[in-house]
Amino acid sequence: MNNFADKVAVITGAGSGFGREFARLGAKLGMRLVLADVQQDALEETFAEVSAAGARAVARRVDVAKGDEIDALARTTLDTFGSVHLVFNNAGVGGSGGLVWENTERDWQWLLGVNLWGVIHGVRAFTPLMLEAAKRDANYRGHIVNTASMAGLLNPPLMGPYNVSKHAVVSLTESLYQDLSLVTQQVACSVLCPYFVPTGIAKAHRNRPADLANEAPPTLSQGVARALSEKAVSSGKVSAEEVAGMVFDAIRDEQFYIFSHSHALSAVKTRAEDIVTPRNPTDPFAERPHVRERIVEALKG
């Protein structure tokens, strides 16, 4: 896809982070935008900004964990603009870290509901619409971008549910790529695997549904994990705006894997070598033993 003008983009998680930057860039490129987020005030801010920039846009409060709300978003897209060309299954949450056995059932339900089921619902609802458009028009081009993480290719400690959700998104998107290749050359897909980028994901617990909240306070390990995550995310040197530019470049080039930090791929290579050797998983702190020591001490309280 080389020309974005007048194309229709659906963006979940549009209220902040990558989603807001996708919307900003889409507006600059003359796209028509369907914005979705669970946080109403943040969604309205993005909508007001892109509208002021001249973009035609609609905004809907959507909980991506609920399939019927994604189905309704798809209907809104067709009713408003008649078609869809880009789908950014981008909504995601962090949190619920700590020692993996200390995560509650509600922790798993919340994280998998947004990070995995949100992407599943987006793929299920929008891919058929794009394939139908391709059948009607030989010049139609569509693209789906699923936001995963480098945690979808690695398994850092104290991030179990998040790792699981993002590995699943990578697998889902690779499966989508292979399945699309059997039926069309007009619809492509990519998986975005960012490393630490300053976004609001470390504070995503602010939007956690009340019915999935834990009755007990966070465990010691969950507190340690949250502190580590907030520090790592806030110290990232690559901006969400820069990542959005990388994503649109990848769409133009039909590039499947999108990485924000190429240096992180060395750890992916090490993990692959662990698997094929085979050998036990490499210590992620092998070159920074002082970090491991600090975490171990923190877990002792």
How far apart are alpha carbons 79 and 73 in whole angstroms? 10
**CATH code of the domain in which 139 resides:** 3.40.50.720
* Tokens (6 digits) for 267: 């750890």
In a domain, 301, yes or no: no
3 state SS of 195: coil
Per residue in 46-60, pLDDT tens? 999 999 999 999 999
Question: Domain for residue 3, yes or no?
Answer: no
On whether the CB atoms of residues 19 and 46 are closer than 8 A, the answer is yes
Higher pLDDT, 45 or 95: 45
Active-site residue list: 162
Report the pLDDT value the prediction gives residue 206, as an integer from 0 to 100.
82
What does the pLDDT read at residue 222? 95
pLDDT at 200 over 80: no
Measured in degrees and rounded to the nearest 5, phi and psi for residue 17 equal: 55, -135
* Site of tokens 């949190």: 95
What average pLDDT does this structure show over 196-212? 84
**For residue 96, is it within any domain?**
yes
The mean predicted confidence, pLDDT, of the chain is: 96
To the nearest whole percent, how much of the chain has pLDDT over 70?
99
| Averaged pLDDT for residues 151-160 | 97
In a domain, 299, yes or no: no
> pLDDT grade, residue 172 (50/70/90)?
very high
Tokens of 105: 């059932």
- Distance set, CA 140 to CA 11, 25, 124, 153, 257 (Å): 19, 21, 19, 32, 23
Q: Is the pLDDT of residue 12 over 90?
A: yes
Percent of the chain past pLDDT 90, that is, above it, reads 91
How many distinct structural domains can be found in the chain?
1
Residue 254 in this model has a pLDDT that exceeds 70: yes
On whether residue 17 sits in a domain, the answer given is: yes
Residue 260 above 80 pLDDT? yes
Where is pLDDT greater, at 204 or 135? 135
Q: What is the pLDDT of residues 214-238, one digit of tens each?
A: 999 999 999 999 999 999 888 889 9
Does residue 300 lie within any of the structural domains?
Answer: no
pLDDT at 204: 73
Q: What digits encode the pLDDT tens for the residues 54-81?
A: 999 999 999 999 999 999 999 999 999 9
In a domain, 2, yes or no: no
User: What's the CA gap between 296 and 301, in Å, rounded?
Assistant: 9
Start-end of H helices in the chain: 17-28, 40-52, 67-81, 105-112, 118-136, 160-183, 220-234, 240-253, 265-276, 289-299
Q: What is the mean pLDDT of residues 3-20?
A: 98
For 112, the domain range is: 8-264
Answer whether residue 280 is part of any domain: no
Give the model's confidence band at 202: pLDDT under 50 very low, under 70 low, under 90 confident, else very high.
low
Identify the pLDDT of residue 198: 87
